[in-house]
Amino acid sequence: CLITVTGGIWSLFDFIMPKGKFDAFMHLNTGYQIAIVAGFLAGLFFLLIFFFGLFKKGRKWVLSFIFNLKEIEEKYKNRLDVKIAAGGLLLSLIAIIIGIIIAVIQEILGGSSSTSPFSGLFTSFSSFSSGNWILFTGASVFAILAVTLFLIYFWKNGYYLILKIMGVLEK
């Protein structure tokens, strides 16, 4: 989160003043320099206090959401064929999602080829300023965490969804 906030502030300053920010800062009065640094530190400590307050509640909610208890019908408990079929389907779907993510990352970092479906989408990354790259990195870390939590949720609850579908199909 800190990376995203820093990148957002830096990108805003890059938009307002693309070059010469550090030189302008160094030419300011010492009092202004102290006030600017103290303002950034006050914002940082405010965010730390805010996120420390939300940490415990958020952690409990995420853990209870992902790892909630579910009951399985008796006829599907401890059946190896059902576990293999469900596990194979879930692993295949997770592999598809991870493959798409890796392809998009390669498109972004390596440049897109002419045969790519995203050939014109990622060309604007070459004009990114350093603040935009920091913001992009923070957003990417958030996206990776979100996808990881989704895959864990999908793995834990997908098995029960497949068992429900099998129960409906058998009836």
pLDDT, tens digit, 9 for 90 and up, residues 127-155: 677 777 777 777 788 888 888 888 887 77
Question: Residue 171's pLDDT is what?
Answer: 66
pLDDT, average across residues 94-121: 69
Sequence-ordered list of residues with C-beta below 8 angstroms from that of 112, at least 6 positions apart, any chain: 118, 119, 120, 121, 122, 123
How big is the CA angle at 137 (ends 133 and 141), to the nearest 5 degrees?
170
Report whether 153 contacts 139 (CB < 8 A).
Answer: no
Chain segment 65-104, per-residue pLDDT in tens: 666 666 655 666 667 777 787 778 888 888 888 888 777 7
| Cα distance between residue 98 and residue 104, in whole Å | 10
Q: Is 93 exposed, middle or buried (0-12, 13-18, 19+ CB in 10 A)?
A: middle
Question: Cα 81 to chain center, whole Å?
Answer: 35
Tens digits of per-residue pLDDT, 10-51?
A: 777 777 777 777 787 788 888 888 888 888 778 777 777 776
Domain boundaries, the chain: 2-170
Mean pLDDT within 160-165:
76
86 vs 83: CA distance, rounded Å: 5
**Stronger pLDDT, 122 or 110, i.e. the higher one:** 110
Does residue 92 or residue 9 have the better pLDDT?
A: 92
Quick check: 112 pLDDT over 60? no
Q: How many CA atoms within 13 Å lie on the side-chain side of 167?
A: 12
Separate counts of helices (H) and strands (E) for the chain: 5, 0
CA distance 17 to 13: 6
Q: What pLDDT score was predicted for residue 67? A: 64
**Residues 3-8, mean pLDDT to the nearest whole number:** 72
Q: With b meaning 16 or more CB within 10 Å and e meaning fewer, what string describes 115-127? A: eeeeeeebeeeee
Model confidence at 53, in pLDDT bands (50, 70, 90)?
A: low
